[in-house]
Protein backbone atom coordinates (compact mmCIF):
# COMPACT_ATOMS: atom_id res chain seq x y z
CA UNK A 1 0.00 0.00 0.00
CA UNK A 2 3.08 2.29 -0.18
CA UNK A 3 1.82 4.05 -3.32
CA UNK A 4 -1.64 4.70 -1.87
CA UNK A 5 -2.57 7.74 0.15
CA UNK A 6 -2.26 7.01 3.89
CA UNK A 7 -5.78 8.23 4.42
CA UNK A 8 -7.10 5.65 1.96
CA UNK A 9 -4.92 2.96 3.46
CA UNK A 10 -6.51 3.66 6.83
CA UNK A 11 -9.98 2.87 5.53
CA UNK A 12 -11.35 -0.48 6.65
CA UNK A 13 -12.30 -2.03 3.31
CA UNK A 14 -13.42 -5.19 5.08
CA UNK A 15 -15.98 -3.26 7.13
CA UNK A 16 -19.39 -4.67 6.26
CA UNK A 17 -20.82 -1.17 6.79
CA UNK A 18 -20.63 -0.08 3.13
CA UNK A 19 -22.04 3.37 3.92
CA UNK A 20 -19.25 4.08 6.39
CA UNK A 21 -16.64 3.06 3.82
CA UNK A 22 -18.22 5.26 1.13
CA UNK A 23 -18.42 8.19 3.56
CA UNK A 24 -14.76 7.75 4.34
CA UNK A 25 -13.80 7.95 0.66
CA UNK A 26 -15.99 11.03 0.22
CA UNK A 27 -14.38 12.71 3.23
CA UNK A 28 -10.96 12.31 1.62
CA UNK A 29 -12.26 14.20 -1.39
CA UNK A 30 -13.77 16.90 0.82
CA UNK A 31 -10.68 17.47 2.98
CA UNK A 32 -8.45 18.55 0.10
CA UNK A 33 -8.43 18.95 -3.68
CA UNK A 34 -7.74 15.52 -5.15
CA UNK A 35 -8.03 13.59 -8.37
CA UNK A 36 -9.55 10.11 -8.30
CA UNK A 37 -9.42 7.98 -11.47
CA UNK A 38 -11.44 4.84 -12.00
CA UNK A 39 -10.75 3.09 -15.31
CA UNK A 40 -12.82 0.52 -17.23
CA UNK A 41 -15.96 1.01 -15.19
CA UNK A 42 -17.83 -1.27 -17.59
CA UNK A 43 -16.04 -4.11 -15.77
CA UNK A 44 -16.77 -2.76 -12.28
CA UNK A 45 -18.52 -4.88 -9.66
CA UNK A 46 -21.68 -3.86 -7.85
CA UNK A 47 -19.85 -2.32 -4.87
CA UNK A 48 -17.71 -0.10 -7.09
CA UNK A 49 -20.74 1.10 -9.03
CA UNK A 50 -22.52 1.89 -5.75
CA UNK A 51 -19.47 3.90 -4.62
CA UNK A 52 -19.44 5.91 -7.86
CA UNK A 53 -23.15 6.64 -7.52
CA UNK A 54 -22.68 7.71 -3.88
CA UNK A 55 -19.78 10.05 -4.68
CA UNK A 56 -21.30 11.29 -7.95
CA UNK A 57 -24.37 12.63 -6.14
CA UNK A 58 -22.15 14.59 -3.70
CA UNK A 59 -19.09 15.55 -5.78
CA UNK A 60 -20.35 19.14 -6.12
CA UNK A 61 -19.68 19.61 -2.39
CA UNK A 62 -15.95 18.96 -2.83
CA UNK A 63 -12.95 20.60 -4.54
CA UNK A 64 -11.97 17.28 -6.04
CA UNK A 65 -12.49 15.55 -9.37
CA UNK A 66 -13.42 11.95 -10.07
CA UNK A 67 -12.73 10.67 -13.60
CA UNK A 68 -14.41 7.38 -14.52
CA UNK A 69 -13.81 5.82 -17.94
CA UNK A 70 -15.82 3.14 -19.66
CA UNK A 71 -16.45 1.70 -23.13
CA UNK A 72 -19.89 2.64 -24.31
CA UNK A 73 -19.92 -0.20 -26.84
CA UNK A 74 -19.65 -2.72 -23.99
CA UNK A 75 -22.60 -1.39 -22.00
CA UNK A 76 -25.90 -2.51 -23.47
CA UNK A 77 -29.27 -1.45 -22.14
CA UNK A 78 -29.19 -4.17 -19.44
CA UNK A 79 -25.71 -3.32 -18.15
CA UNK A 80 -25.67 -2.20 -14.45
CA UNK A 81 -23.61 0.86 -15.34
CA UNK A 82 -26.54 2.21 -17.37
CA UNK A 83 -28.54 2.64 -14.19
CA UNK A 84 -25.74 4.58 -12.53
CA UNK A 85 -25.31 6.84 -15.56
CA UNK A 86 -29.03 7.50 -15.65
CA UNK A 87 -29.17 8.44 -11.95
CA UNK A 88 -26.24 10.84 -12.35
CA UNK A 89 -27.44 12.40 -15.59
CA UNK A 90 -29.03 15.38 -13.83
CA UNK A 91 -26.89 15.41 -10.66
CA UNK A 92 -24.96 18.68 -10.14
CA UNK A 93 -21.23 18.59 -10.82
CA UNK A 94 -21.44 15.69 -13.28
CA UNK A 95 -20.41 15.90 -16.91
CA UNK A 96 -20.23 13.16 -19.52
CA UNK A 97 -17.66 13.38 -22.32
CA UNK A 98 -17.74 11.24 -25.44
CA UNK A 99 -14.53 10.36 -27.27
CA UNK A 100 -15.47 10.13 -30.94
CA UNK A 101 -13.52 7.94 -33.39
CA UNK A 102 -10.73 9.65 -35.26
CA UNK A 103 -11.69 11.18 -38.59
CA UNK A 104 -10.03 10.23 -41.86
CA UNK A 105 -7.92 13.37 -41.58
CA UNK A 106 -7.00 12.50 -37.99
CA UNK A 107 -5.91 9.00 -38.96
CA UNK A 108 -3.91 10.42 -41.87
CA UNK A 109 -2.21 12.84 -39.50
CA UNK A 110 -1.15 10.05 -37.14
CA UNK A 111 -0.01 7.88 -40.05
CA UNK A 112 2.07 10.66 -41.60
CA UNK A 113 5.72 9.65 -41.66
CA UNK A 114 4.99 5.97 -41.04
CA UNK A 115 5.02 3.07 -43.50
CA UNK A 116 1.24 2.75 -43.36
CA UNK A 117 -1.41 3.56 -45.95
CA UNK A 118 -3.72 6.05 -44.23
CA UNK A 119 -6.84 5.13 -46.22
CA UNK A 120 -6.36 1.43 -45.53
CA UNK A 121 -5.64 2.17 -41.87
CA UNK A 122 -8.90 4.05 -41.52
CA UNK A 123 -10.83 1.26 -43.24
CA UNK A 124 -9.32 -1.35 -40.92
CA UNK A 125 -9.76 0.55 -37.67
CA UNK A 126 -12.80 2.73 -38.23
CA UNK A 127 -10.84 5.48 -36.49
CA UNK A 128 -10.57 3.62 -33.18
CA UNK A 129 -7.61 5.44 -31.53
CA UNK A 130 -6.26 2.33 -29.80
CA UNK A 131 -6.34 0.27 -32.99
CA UNK A 132 -4.80 3.11 -35.02
CA UNK A 133 -1.84 3.63 -32.71
CA UNK A 134 -1.19 -0.10 -32.35
CA UNK A 135 -1.16 -0.70 -36.12
CA UNK A 136 1.23 2.22 -36.58
CA UNK A 137 3.47 0.80 -33.86
CA UNK A 138 3.57 -2.63 -35.52
CA UNK A 139 3.78 -2.01 -39.30
CA UNK A 140 3.69 -5.03 -41.56
CA UNK A 141 1.66 -7.19 -39.19
CA UNK A 142 -1.77 -8.39 -40.19
CA UNK A 143 -3.17 -7.83 -36.70
CA UNK A 144 -0.96 -6.33 -33.96
CA UNK A 145 -0.69 -8.72 -30.96
CA UNK A 146 -2.01 -6.05 -28.61
CA UNK A 147 -5.14 -5.61 -30.72
CA UNK A 148 -5.62 -9.38 -30.99
CA UNK A 149 -5.30 -9.76 -27.22
CA UNK A 150 -7.83 -7.00 -26.57
CA UNK A 151 -10.37 -8.43 -29.01
CA UNK A 152 -9.97 -12.01 -27.84
CA UNK A 153 -10.22 -11.00 -24.17
CA UNK A 154 -13.50 -9.34 -24.95
CA UNK A 155 -14.86 -12.28 -26.95
CA UNK A 156 -13.74 -14.84 -24.35
CA UNK A 157 -16.11 -13.34 -21.77
CA UNK A 158 -19.13 -14.05 -23.94
CA UNK A 159 -21.28 -17.15 -23.67
CA UNK A 160 -20.58 -19.97 -26.18
CA UNK A 161 -23.66 -19.33 -28.36
CA UNK A 162 -22.77 -15.66 -28.77
CA UNK A 163 -19.12 -16.44 -29.40
CA UNK A 164 -20.18 -18.89 -32.13
CA UNK A 165 -22.20 -16.16 -33.86
CA UNK A 166 -19.12 -13.91 -33.90
CA UNK A 167 -16.93 -16.69 -35.26
CA UNK A 168 -19.31 -17.32 -38.17
CA UNK A 169 -19.57 -13.60 -38.92
CA UNK A 170 -15.77 -13.27 -38.89
CA UNK A 171 -15.42 -15.21 -42.17
CA UNK A 172 -17.54 -12.57 -43.95
CA UNK A 173 -15.71 -9.37 -45.00
CA UNK A 174 -19.11 -7.74 -45.49
CA UNK A 175 -22.34 -7.54 -43.44
CA UNK A 176 -23.98 -10.90 -42.78
CA UNK A 177 -27.73 -11.24 -43.11
CA UNK A 178 -29.69 -12.29 -40.03
CA UNK A 179 -31.75 -14.73 -42.12
CA UNK A 180 -28.54 -16.44 -43.17
CA UNK A 181 -27.29 -16.79 -39.60
CA UNK A 182 -30.65 -18.20 -38.53
CA UNK A 183 -30.71 -20.60 -41.49
CA UNK A 184 -27.27 -21.80 -40.42
CA UNK A 185 -28.65 -22.68 -36.97
CA UNK A 186 -27.92 -19.63 -34.83
CA UNK A 187 -30.50 -18.66 -32.23
CA UNK A 188 -32.00 -15.19 -32.91
CA UNK A 189 -31.59 -14.40 -29.21
CA UNK A 190 -27.85 -15.18 -29.45
CA UNK A 191 -27.58 -12.84 -32.43
CA UNK A 192 -29.23 -10.10 -30.37
CA UNK A 193 -26.84 -10.71 -27.47
CA UNK A 194 -23.90 -10.51 -29.89
CA UNK A 195 -25.14 -7.10 -30.96
CA UNK A 196 -25.50 -5.98 -27.35
CA UNK A 197 -21.91 -7.04 -26.66
CA UNK A 198 -20.70 -4.12 -28.79
CA UNK A 199 -18.25 -6.20 -30.81
CA UNK A 200 -20.62 -6.21 -33.77
CA UNK A 201 -23.19 -3.71 -34.97
CA UNK A 202 -26.15 -4.02 -37.29
CA UNK A 203 -29.77 -3.35 -38.03
CA UNK A 204 -32.91 -5.41 -38.56
CA UNK A 205 -31.36 -7.16 -41.57
CA UNK A 206 -27.57 -7.47 -41.19
CA UNK A 207 -24.77 -7.81 -38.66
CA UNK A 208 -21.11 -6.85 -39.07
CA UNK A 209 -18.02 -6.27 -36.94
CA UNK A 210 -17.65 -2.75 -35.63
CA UNK A 211 -14.02 -2.75 -36.79
CA UNK A 212 -12.49 -4.73 -39.65
CA UNK A 213 -9.35 -5.25 -37.56
CA UNK A 214 -11.41 -6.94 -34.84
CA UNK A 215 -12.92 -9.29 -37.42
CA UNK A 216 -9.49 -10.28 -38.66
CA UNK A 217 -8.21 -10.74 -35.12
CA UNK A 218 -10.92 -13.26 -34.32
CA UNK A 219 -10.67 -15.01 -37.70
CA UNK A 220 -6.94 -15.60 -37.27
CA UNK A 221 -7.54 -17.53 -34.05
CA UNK A 222 -9.92 -20.05 -35.59
CA UNK A 223 -8.72 -23.52 -36.54
CA UNK A 224 -8.31 -23.75 -40.36
CA UNK A 225 -10.55 -26.81 -40.58
CA UNK A 226 -13.31 -24.95 -38.72
CA UNK A 227 -12.93 -21.97 -41.06
CA UNK A 228 -13.31 -24.25 -44.09
CA UNK A 229 -16.42 -25.84 -42.56
CA UNK A 230 -18.00 -22.43 -41.95
CA UNK A 231 -17.21 -21.25 -45.48
CA UNK A 232 -18.66 -24.43 -46.98
CA UNK A 233 -21.89 -24.10 -44.99
CA UNK A 234 -22.31 -20.44 -45.97
CA UNK A 235 -21.53 -21.25 -49.61
CA UNK A 236 -24.19 -23.96 -49.69
CA UNK A 237 -26.79 -21.67 -48.11
CA UNK A 238 -26.01 -18.75 -50.40
CA UNK A 239 -25.89 -20.93 -53.50
CA UNK A 240 -29.47 -21.98 -52.78
CA UNK A 241 -30.59 -18.37 -52.39
CA UNK A 242 -31.46 -16.00 -55.23
CA UNK A 243 -29.70 -12.76 -56.20
CA UNK A 244 -26.48 -13.36 -54.28
CA UNK A 245 -23.31 -11.50 -55.28
CA UNK A 246 -21.10 -13.89 -57.25
CA UNK A 247 -17.96 -12.28 -55.79
CA UNK A 248 -19.22 -13.30 -52.35
CA UNK A 249 -19.83 -16.85 -53.53
CA UNK A 250 -16.30 -16.89 -54.95
CA UNK A 251 -14.92 -15.75 -51.58
CA UNK A 252 -16.62 -18.59 -49.73
CA UNK A 253 -15.72 -21.16 -52.39
CA UNK A 254 -12.07 -20.23 -51.92
CA UNK A 255 -12.41 -20.37 -48.14
CA UNK A 256 -14.04 -23.79 -48.38
CA UNK A 257 -11.31 -25.11 -50.68
CA UNK A 258 -13.97 -26.01 -53.27
CA UNK A 259 -12.11 -25.54 -56.57
CA UNK A 260 -15.06 -26.54 -58.77
CA UNK A 261 -17.24 -23.86 -57.16
CA UNK A 262 -14.37 -21.36 -57.16
CA UNK A 263 -13.80 -21.84 -60.88
CA UNK A 264 -17.48 -21.28 -61.57
CA UNK A 265 -18.04 -18.24 -59.37
CA UNK A 266 -14.67 -16.51 -59.78
CA UNK A 267 -15.03 -16.60 -63.57
CA UNK A 268 -18.46 -15.01 -63.39
CA UNK A 269 -17.29 -12.48 -60.80
CA UNK A 270 -14.36 -11.53 -63.02
CA UNK A 271 -16.59 -10.90 -66.02
CA UNK A 272 -18.99 -8.75 -64.00
CA UNK A 273 -16.14 -6.74 -62.47
CA UNK A 274 -14.65 -6.18 -65.93
CA UNK A 275 -17.99 -4.88 -67.25
CA UNK A 276 -18.14 -2.51 -64.27
CA UNK A 277 -14.59 -1.30 -65.04
CA UNK A 278 -13.29 -2.70 -61.74
CA UNK A 279 -10.20 -4.00 -63.51
CA UNK A 280 -8.03 -4.75 -60.49
CA UNK A 281 -10.87 -6.74 -58.93
CA UNK A 282 -11.55 -8.51 -62.23
CA UNK A 283 -7.90 -9.51 -62.57
CA UNK A 284 -7.97 -10.97 -59.05
CA UNK A 285 -11.05 -13.05 -59.78
CA UNK A 286 -9.64 -14.37 -63.05
CA UNK A 287 -6.38 -15.28 -61.30
CA UNK A 288 -8.38 -17.24 -58.69
CA UNK A 289 -10.34 -19.04 -61.42
CA UNK A 290 -7.18 -19.99 -63.31
CA UNK A 291 -5.53 -21.31 -60.15
CA UNK A 292 -8.66 -23.37 -59.38
CA UNK A 293 -8.65 -24.80 -62.91
CA UNK A 294 -4.98 -25.77 -62.59
CA UNK A 295 -5.55 -27.44 -59.21
CA UNK A 296 -8.59 -29.38 -60.40
CA UNK A 297 -6.55 -31.07 -63.17
CA UNK A 298 -7.67 -32.62 -66.41
CA UNK A 299 -10.63 -34.70 -65.23
CA UNK A 300 -12.65 -31.90 -63.68
CA UNK A 301 -10.89 -28.99 -65.37
CA UNK A 302 -11.91 -26.85 -68.30
CA UNK A 303 -11.62 -27.87 -71.96
CA UNK A 304 -8.76 -26.12 -73.80
CA UNK A 305 -11.06 -23.62 -75.52
CA UNK A 306 -12.47 -22.49 -72.17
CA UNK A 307 -8.99 -22.24 -70.70
CA UNK A 308 -7.99 -19.99 -73.60
CA UNK A 309 -11.03 -17.76 -73.07
CA UNK A 310 -10.28 -17.47 -69.36
CA UNK A 311 -6.60 -16.68 -69.92
CA UNK A 312 -7.56 -14.17 -72.60
CA UNK A 313 -9.93 -12.37 -70.21
CA UNK A 314 -7.21 -12.28 -67.56
CA UNK A 315 -4.68 -10.89 -70.06
CA UNK A 316 -7.10 -8.14 -71.08
CA UNK A 317 -7.47 -6.96 -67.49
CA UNK A 318 -3.72 -7.11 -66.86
CA UNK A 319 -3.06 -5.07 -69.98
CA UNK A 320 -5.35 -2.34 -68.65
CA UNK A 321 -3.39 -2.43 -65.39
CA UNK A 322 -0.12 -2.19 -67.41
CA UNK A 323 1.24 -5.41 -65.92
CA UNK A 324 2.97 -6.05 -69.22
CA UNK A 325 5.41 -8.83 -68.34
CA UNK A 326 2.55 -10.91 -66.93
CA UNK A 327 0.51 -10.32 -70.08
CA UNK A 328 3.41 -11.65 -72.18
CA UNK A 329 3.58 -14.82 -70.07
CA UNK A 330 -0.15 -15.44 -70.41
CA UNK A 331 -0.21 -14.79 -74.15
CA UNK A 332 2.68 -17.22 -74.57
CA UNK A 333 0.62 -19.82 -72.69
CA UNK A 334 -2.33 -19.21 -74.99
CA UNK A 335 -0.12 -19.66 -78.06
CA UNK A 336 1.10 -23.04 -76.78
CA UNK A 337 -2.42 -24.25 -75.98
CA UNK A 338 -3.75 -23.21 -79.40
CA UNK A 339 -0.87 -25.04 -81.11
CA UNK A 340 -2.03 -28.23 -79.38
CA UNK A 341 -5.69 -27.97 -80.42
CA UNK A 342 -5.02 -26.98 -84.04
CA UNK A 343 -7.66 -24.25 -84.33
CA UNK A 344 -6.28 -21.86 -87.00
CA UNK A 345 -8.63 -19.00 -86.10
CA UNK A 346 -7.70 -19.15 -82.43
CA UNK A 347 -4.06 -19.62 -83.34
CA UNK A 348 -4.03 -16.49 -85.47
CA UNK A 349 -5.62 -14.42 -82.71
CA UNK A 350 -3.23 -15.83 -80.11
CA UNK A 351 -0.19 -14.95 -82.22
CA UNK A 352 -1.46 -11.43 -82.90
CA UNK A 353 -2.26 -10.85 -79.23
CA UNK A 354 1.18 -12.18 -78.22
CA UNK A 355 2.82 -9.78 -80.68
CA UNK A 356 0.88 -6.87 -79.19
CA UNK A 357 1.83 -7.95 -75.66
CA UNK A 358 5.53 -8.12 -76.55
CA UNK A 359 5.35 -4.66 -78.10
CA UNK A 360 3.76 -3.22 -74.95
CA UNK A 361 6.44 -4.88 -72.82
CA UNK A 362 9.20 -3.39 -74.96
CA UNK A 363 10.20 -6.66 -76.65
CA UNK A 364 10.23 -5.30 -80.19
CA UNK A 365 12.34 -8.10 -81.66
CA UNK A 366 9.67 -10.68 -80.80
CA UNK A 367 6.91 -8.84 -82.66
CA UNK A 368 7.68 -9.46 -86.34
CA UNK A 369 8.10 -13.27 -86.16
CA UNK A 370 4.77 -13.55 -84.36
CA UNK A 371 3.00 -11.25 -86.82
CA UNK A 372 4.50 -13.09 -89.79
CA UNK A 373 3.26 -16.43 -88.42
CA UNK A 374 -0.15 -14.95 -87.69
CA UNK A 375 -0.50 -13.68 -91.27
CA UNK A 376 0.61 -17.04 -92.62
CA UNK A 377 -1.91 -18.80 -90.38
CA UNK A 378 -4.88 -16.81 -91.74
CA UNK A 379 -3.95 -17.42 -95.37
CA UNK A 380 -6.63 -20.09 -95.62
CA UNK A 381 -9.27 -18.14 -93.70
CA UNK A 382 -8.66 -14.79 -95.35
CA UNK A 383 -12.34 -13.82 -95.45
CA UNK A 384 -13.01 -14.34 -91.72
CA UNK A 385 -12.85 -12.45 -88.47
CA UNK A 386 -9.45 -13.96 -87.69
CA UNK A 387 -7.88 -12.41 -90.77
CA UNK A 388 -9.45 -8.99 -90.11
CA UNK A 389 -8.18 -9.13 -86.54
CA UNK A 390 -4.65 -10.17 -87.53
CA UNK A 391 -4.27 -7.50 -90.20
CA UNK A 392 -5.70 -4.82 -87.89
CA UNK A 393 -3.22 -5.75 -85.17
CA UNK A 394 -0.35 -6.00 -87.66
CA UNK A 395 -1.22 -2.61 -89.12
CA UNK A 396 -1.44 -0.86 -85.75
CA UNK A 397 1.90 -2.32 -84.65
CA UNK A 398 3.50 -1.22 -87.94
CA UNK A 399 2.10 2.29 -87.36
CA UNK A 400 3.60 2.38 -83.88
CA UNK A 401 6.93 1.27 -85.36
CA UNK A 402 6.68 4.12 -87.91
CA UNK A 403 6.59 1.63 -90.78
CA UNK A 404 4.15 3.63 -92.89
CA UNK A 405 4.01 1.35 -95.94
CA UNK A 406 3.13 -1.77 -93.96
CA UNK A 407 0.78 0.14 -91.67
CA UNK A 408 -1.31 1.51 -94.53
CA UNK A 409 -1.30 -1.75 -96.50
CA UNK A 410 -2.27 -3.96 -93.57
CA UNK A 411 -4.83 -1.58 -92.06
CA UNK A 412 -6.45 -1.04 -95.49
CA UNK A 413 -6.77 -4.78 -95.93
CA UNK A 414 -8.18 -5.15 -92.42
CA UNK A 415 -10.75 -2.44 -93.08
CA UNK A 416 -11.94 -4.23 -96.21
CA UNK A 417 -12.18 -7.62 -94.47
CA UNK A 418 -13.91 -6.16 -91.40
CA UNK A 419 -16.48 -4.26 -93.44
CA UNK A 420 -17.24 -7.28 -95.59
CA UNK A 421 -17.78 -9.46 -92.53
CA UNK A 422 -19.29 -6.67 -90.37
CA UNK A 423 -16.64 -7.19 -87.71
CA UNK A 424 -16.66 -3.90 -85.81
CA UNK A 425 -13.92 -4.59 -83.25
CA UNK A 426 -11.10 -5.10 -85.81
CA UNK A 427 -12.63 -2.34 -87.93
CA UNK A 428 -12.31 0.17 -85.08
CA UNK A 429 -8.64 -0.70 -84.58
CA UNK A 430 -7.82 -0.80 -88.28
CA UNK A 431 -9.36 2.63 -88.88
CA UNK A 432 -7.44 3.97 -85.90
CA UNK A 433 -4.16 2.58 -87.22
CA UNK A 434 -4.81 3.76 -90.78
CA UNK A 435 -5.79 7.30 -89.79
CA UNK A 436 -2.89 7.59 -87.33
CA UNK A 437 -0.39 6.39 -89.98
CA UNK A 438 -1.69 8.81 -92.61
CA UNK A 439 -1.47 11.81 -90.29
CA UNK A 440 1.54 10.99 -88.14
CA UNK A 441 3.81 9.35 -90.75
CA UNK A 442 2.76 10.97 -94.03
CA UNK A 443 1.33 14.27 -92.80
CA UNK A 444 -1.93 13.56 -94.62
CA UNK A 445 -4.76 15.14 -92.63
CA UNK A 446 -7.18 13.07 -94.67
CA UNK A 447 -6.55 10.50 -91.92
CA UNK A 448 -8.90 12.53 -89.72
CA UNK A 449 -11.81 10.79 -91.46
CA UNK A 450 -10.64 7.27 -90.49
CA UNK A 451 -9.98 8.26 -86.88
CA UNK A 452 -13.38 9.96 -86.56
CA UNK A 453 -15.03 6.85 -88.01
CA UNK A 454 -13.14 4.71 -85.49
CA UNK A 455 -14.39 6.90 -82.61
CA UNK A 456 -17.97 6.87 -83.93
CA UNK A 457 -18.17 3.07 -84.27
CA UNK A 458 -16.60 2.59 -80.84
CA UNK A 459 -19.20 4.97 -79.40
CA UNK A 460 -22.09 2.88 -80.74
CA UNK A 461 -20.77 -0.15 -78.83
CA UNK A 462 -19.78 1.69 -75.67
CA UNK A 463 -16.08 0.91 -76.18
CA UNK A 464 -14.85 3.84 -74.16
CA UNK A 465 -11.14 3.08 -74.42
CA UNK A 466 -11.25 2.77 -78.22
CA UNK A 467 -13.22 5.98 -78.59
CA UNK A 468 -10.89 7.86 -76.26
CA UNK A 469 -7.88 6.38 -78.07
CA UNK A 470 -9.11 7.60 -81.45
CA UNK A 471 -9.65 11.11 -80.07
CA UNK A 472 -6.24 11.24 -78.42
CA UNK A 473 -4.54 9.95 -81.59
CA UNK A 474 -6.28 12.71 -83.54
CA UNK A 475 -4.90 15.26 -81.12
CA UNK A 476 -1.36 13.90 -80.98
CA UNK A 477 -1.15 13.27 -84.74
CA UNK A 478 -2.37 16.73 -85.67
CA UNK A 479 0.02 18.19 -83.15
CA UNK A 480 2.93 16.42 -84.83
CA UNK A 481 2.06 18.01 -88.18
CA UNK A 482 1.55 21.42 -86.53
CA UNK A 483 -2.20 21.74 -86.88
CA UNK A 484 -2.21 23.00 -83.31
CA UNK A 485 -5.70 24.49 -83.07
CA UNK A 486 -7.38 21.30 -84.29
CA UNK A 487 -4.99 19.21 -82.18
CA UNK A 488 -6.01 21.08 -79.03
CA UNK A 489 -9.68 20.54 -79.91
CA UNK A 490 -9.29 16.75 -80.09
CA UNK A 491 -6.94 16.51 -77.12
CA UNK A 492 -9.41 18.42 -74.96
CA UNK A 493 -12.24 16.20 -76.22
CA UNK A 494 -10.17 13.16 -75.27
CA UNK A 495 -9.44 14.55 -71.80
CA UNK A 496 -13.10 15.45 -71.20
CA UNK A 497 -14.25 12.03 -72.38
CA UNK A 498 -11.74 10.20 -70.17
CA UNK A 499 -12.64 12.36 -67.16
CA UNK A 500 -16.38 11.88 -67.65
CA UNK A 501 -16.01 8.09 -67.82
CA UNK A 502 -13.32 7.83 -65.16
CA UNK A 503 -10.75 6.33 -67.55
CA UNK A 504 -7.25 6.37 -66.10
CA UNK A 505 -5.19 6.52 -69.29
CA UNK A 506 -4.04 2.90 -69.20
CA UNK A 507 -4.03 0.88 -72.42
CA UNK A 508 -7.04 -1.06 -73.52
CA UNK A 509 -7.70 -3.14 -76.63
CA UNK A 510 -11.17 -4.27 -77.64
CA UNK A 511 -11.54 -8.04 -77.95
CA UNK A 512 -15.21 -8.04 -78.95
Q: What whole-number distance in Å separates Cα of residue 52 and Cα of residue 421? A: 86
Q: Is the pLDDT score of 512 beyond 50?
A: no
pLDDT reported for residue 84: 86
CB atoms within 10 A of CB 261: 20
Domain boundaries, given as residue ranges, for the chain: 6-88, 113-239, 382-512
Q: What is the pLDDT of residue 81?
A: 85
Q: Which CATH superfamily is domain 382-512 in?
A: Tetratricopeptide repeat domain (1.25.40.10)
269 and 234 in contact (C-beta within 8 Å)?
no
Which letter, b or e, does each residue of 135-149 get, where b requires 16 or more Cβ atoms within 10 Å of its Cβ? Answer: bbeeeeeebbeebbe
Q: How far apart are CA 41 and CA 336, in angstroms?
A: 68
Domain 113-239 matching CATH 2.120.10.30: the answer reads: no
Model confidence over 456-509: pLDDT tens digits? 999 999 898 899 999 999 999 999 999 999 999 999 999 998 888 777 544 444
Task: Tell me whether residue 482 is exposed, middle or buried, using C-beta atoms within 10 angstroms of its C-beta: 0 to 12, 13 to 18, 19 or more.
Answer: exposed
Q: pLDDT band at 298, cuts 50/70/90?
A: very low
The strand pair at 206-209 and 200-202 is best described as antiparallel
pLDDT digits (tens, 9 = 90+) for 408-464: 999 999 999 999 999 999 999 999 999 999 999 999 999 999 999 999 999 999 898
| Mean pLDDT in residue range 378-397 | 88
Amino acid sequence: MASVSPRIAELDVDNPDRHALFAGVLQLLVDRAALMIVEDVHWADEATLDLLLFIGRRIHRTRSMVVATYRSDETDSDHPLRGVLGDLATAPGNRRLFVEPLSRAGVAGLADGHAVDAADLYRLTGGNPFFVTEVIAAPGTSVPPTVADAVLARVSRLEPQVKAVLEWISVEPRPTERWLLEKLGHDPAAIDRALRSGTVIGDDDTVRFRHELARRALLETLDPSRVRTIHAAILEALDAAAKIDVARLSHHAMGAGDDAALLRWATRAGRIAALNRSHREAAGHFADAIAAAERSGGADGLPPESVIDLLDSYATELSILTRDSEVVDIQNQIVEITRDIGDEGRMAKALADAARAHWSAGNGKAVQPLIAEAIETVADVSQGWAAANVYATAGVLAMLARDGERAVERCTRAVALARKGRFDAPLVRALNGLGSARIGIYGDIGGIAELEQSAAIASTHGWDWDQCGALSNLGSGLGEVRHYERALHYLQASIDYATERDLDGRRHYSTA
